[in-house]
Structure 1
């Protein structure tokens, strides 16, 4: 791109962003992707089947530090269980970083933090770096965890089948309804519902949203669902990555939708 041999890079490495932005012959745009990476918690495992324990874990994690260490700052710390760049997502009932509040959640749970022991499985170095921050954060509230690295195929099999306690992972979709079906509906257990959440109210809200034609009504249902998911806290959201695209400054009309897709029909060369 810098040599003029190509006109666009659809995904710029984080380390290259600042340099490319200084090049007057190029245009760089960045945006939040619809992917959310979480500390995924298996809700069927003892300790993690307690909602208050999950809130304690979520409240104890310093997402800003996770983003800095794991993603070189090229991400937005996540708060909601849903990607916030979709209409219908809300931060209502969501946790913020608060170690004292995390300890209060543990006290409320009645669970001895020393009994909540688990391994965080990771499939790459980025996830491993995130897990190291999480490990240090959870130690502050008396929860000890280990980190286990594995190849991607083994990781995907373990998380799909529920053969894990915690993992670092994410999910992305071009629309919010497909997203919540994949991540939170009980029909997606043993597939993309890694936390194995099985909540009748969540399923009912998703099913209702699927058959609601009126957009305003559907958004209202999704907002209710988002608040409910934050209340359940089936996993701890960590970050939404910033995606950068770089292209020849002569290209005009470049737009990216919420799902990260380009509208090429609107792209043209400046005269």
Structure 2
């Protein structure tokens, strides 16, 4: 979803579909071939303004099955695997020919909640009860195999507005039940948690665990997971869900973007709420985003956004779960020099191979 500088003459001479599958830009590599579902090939642009890249030929293979990805790495048919499956971690770690590289992920996995009038979720006590019912520490240990760290807010530590003082609400099923009783839902209510099953690390398993925790406090929760190609358009339609699993990685390193995109009331003119699929709406959060948009003093803006994250925790439009760990596998004897980037981009001109 990033578009870099392209040739005006080239773009205007072709239709959008052709440009999309046969791009021409100003980057360090030239597009050679794309076989959908199989691979992409690139060759070095020797005339690149920043200097020709050291790796001259690049083939990006699309391998969706974890076992097949491991086999490709172990056999040496690939040099580098991005998005190493957790279930393959120990096998790769025990293989003397392979190496694992990792760095903390900036991507925050979270559960989004609506607050539509007339529904149980309209009551903040219910939303907080759902938060308190979920044992995130257990999700990290059992579902994520310890390869994640708990998140307390939508922002990661590298983003403007990250609030270091903010902590997750503790797992407390008894307090969750008490809040449900106080809100008039001692016998629970029905709710469906939606999510993707092929986008984030163990996404369906995380959602399944959350549903199980909710049932333990008396909420009659059901699971609705599906491929991302189906799920994401349903989120952005803002008509389908009240409760779903999603994530956010802020490429702009500014948490106002994450809040306005995922939590602010939908407003086409302001560019708000495009991924607010549960249609959560709160005037205080919206007012804070208006203030942030007009604030140029970076220190003051940081304070304002830190305050926004406190307000968000009080209002509970989302339940932050965790940030994972980005894992990569390398074949040791290939001489590949690769440093993982914080946003997980593979920038081939930055990679070297002896």
**TM-score band (shorter)?**
0.7 to 0.9
Pick one of 256, 260, 264 that aligns with 2:344: 260
**Could you say if the C-alpha distance between residues 2 and 150 of structure 1 is closer, same or farther in structure 2, counting changes exceeding 3 Å?**
closer
**Could you say if the C-alpha distance between residues 222 and 247 of structure 1 is closer, same or farther in structure 2, counting changes exceeding 3 Å?**
farther
CA RMSD of aligned residues (A): 3.0
Q: Which residue of 2 aligns with 1:100?
A: 174
Larger RCO: 1 or 2 (CA < 8 Å, sep 6+): 1
Q: Which residue of 2 aligns with 1:10?
A: 82
Partner Cα distance (1:87, 1:264) in 2: 28
Task: Establish whether residue 180 from structure 1 lines up as the match of residue 298 from structure 2.
Answer: no
**Could you say if the C-alpha distance between residues 212 and 260 of structure 1 is closer, same or farther in structure 2, counting changes exceeding 3 Å?**
farther
- The one-character-per-residue Cα deviations of 1:162-216 (angstroms, maximum 9, x if unpaired) are 3223222223331233222211222367730123222222122223333433332
Larger Rg: 2
Unaligned runs of 5+ in 1: none
Q: Which residue of 1 aligns with 2:280?
A: 197
- The one-character-per-residue Cα deviations of 1:212-258 (angstroms, maximum 9, x if unpaired) are 3333222212211111111111122223222112345644572523x
Which structure has greater helix proportion?
Answer: 1
Q: Which residue of 2 aligns with 1:138?
A: 214
**Could you say if the C-alpha distance between residues 190 and 200 of structure 1 is closer, same or farther in structure 2, counting changes exceeding 3 Å?**
closer
Q: Which moved more, 1:210-219 or 1:20-29?
A: 20-29
**Could you say if the C-alpha distance between residues 162 and 114 of structure 1 is closer, same or farther in structure 2, counting changes exceeding 3 Å?**
farther
- The one-character-per-residue Cα deviations of 1:42-61 (angstroms, maximum 9, x if unpaired) are 22160111111111110110
Mapped contact 1:67–1:74 kept (Cα < 8 A): yes
Q: Which residue of 2 aligns with 1:221?
A: 304
Mapped contact 1:254–1:264 kept (Cα < 8 A): no
Partner Cα distance (2:91, 2:113) in 1: 38
Mapped contact 1:195–1:235 kept (Cα < 8 A): no
Task: Establish whether residue 122 from structure 1 lines up as the match of residue 195 from structure 2.
Answer: yes
Q: Which residue of 2 aligns with 1:164?
A: 241
Partner Cα distance (2:233, 2:351) in 1: 41
Task: Establish whether residue 55 from structure 1 lines up as the match of residue 125 from structure 2.
Answer: no
Partner Cα distance (1:263, 1:127) in 2: 26
**Could you say if the C-alpha distance between residues 96 and 113 of structure 1 is closer, same or farther in structure 2, counting changes exceeding 3 Å?**
same
Partner-residue secondary structure (3-state), 2:120: coil
Task: Establish whether residue 246 from structure 1 lines up as the match of residue 329 from structure 2.
Answer: yes
Q: Compute the displacement of 1:145 (Å).
A: 1.2
Unaligned runs of 5+ in 2: 1-72
Partner Cα distance (1:110, 1:56) in 2: 10
Mapped contact 1:58–1:236 kept (Cα < 8 A): yes
Mapped contact 2:180–2:188 kept (Cα < 8 A): no
Task: Establish whether residue 88 from structure 1 lines up as the match of residue 161 from structure 2.
Answer: yes
